[in-house]
Amino acid sequence: MAWEVLSAIGTIAFAISGAIIAMEEEYDIFGVYLLGFVTAFGGGAVRNLLIGVPVSALWEQEMMFQLALVSITIVFLFPHRLLGQWNRWGNFFDAIGLSAFAVQGALYAVELNLPIYAVIAAAVLTGSGGGIIRDLLAGRKPLVLKAEIYAVWAALAGLLISFDLIRDDIILYLLFTLITVLRIFSYTYKWRLPSRKITS
């Protein structure tokens, strides 16, 4: 059950995130739907490529595509004055998508009996892959490449799940909530990873 619920949550959250960024960049309706779908399913596609699952498996998720379609349509028709608070709502939906897909991606890798580093990679790629593609298509620097703490939370989810100690649905939902809260704290309080800048 947790698998389907987290997939649905991640799909809706990232579809909304992609659609909001597309509208912020003044894309037309086709661009809004395209960026929404790419954000929702891009991470899963990249993950499947790297862990040996056929990418065609994505096309079997008919319900997820319907959820993304409905979510993008609602956002597109939503009053623009309420969507103006992108820094609040966009980051919030992005945090939810990151957390849900990180947990879902890690579970997917564990089901395939992959080693710990593959589970962590699956969590990071599923959680942040769609956001990376979204930001690149929107001409932005991907969040995962900034000093801001982002993909680290996905890696943490993958690490915890790889120990095979977290299998109960309730604990998985608590982990999802924890990762979401940590991501929200990291952008609210501007937590940063160490970085170095080379100047000429």
pLDDT at 124 over 70: yes
Question: Which has the closest alpha carbon to 36: 61, 9, 11?
Answer: 11
Tokens found for residue 45 = 């596609």
Tokens found for residue 7 = 């997939």
Q: What is the pLDDT of residue 1?
A: 61
Q: Output 5 or 90, whichever has higher pLDDT.
A: 5
Q: What is the pLDDT of residue 88?
A: 66
Q: What is the mean pLDDT of residues 7-36?
A: 91
Q: How far is CA 100 from CA 108, 194, 199, in A?
A: 12, 26, 38
Q: Please report which confidence band the pLDDT of residue 86 belongs to, taking 50, 70 and 90 as the band edges.
A: low
pTM of the model: 0.85
Q: What are phi and psi of 36, to 5 degrees?
A: -65, -45
If one counts every other C-beta atom within 10 angstroms of the C-beta of residue 179, the result is: 24
Q: Which residues pair with 148 in a beta bridge?
A: 192
Q: What is the pLDDT of residue 82?
A: 62
Question: Which has the closest alpha carbon to 151: 76, 49, 43?
Answer: 43
* Interatomic CA distance for residues 56 and 44, integer angstroms: 11
* Interatomic CA distance for residues 188 and 90, integer angstroms: 13
30 Cβ neighbours under 8 A, 6+ residues apart = none
If one counts every other C-beta atom within 10 angstroms of the C-beta of residue 184, the result is: 16
Indicate left, alpha or beta for 26 from its phi (over 0: left) and psi (-120 to 50: alpha).
left
Taking only the tens place, the pLDDT of each residue in 148-185 is: 788 999 999 999 998 866 668 888 899 999 999 999 99
Question: Which has the closest alpha carbon to 36: 101, 125, 133, 153?
Answer: 133
When computed from its CA atoms, the radius of gyration of the chain, rounded to whole angstroms, is 16
* Interatomic CA distance for residues 83 and 152, integer angstroms: 28
* Interatomic CA distance for residues 142 and 101, integer angstroms: 17
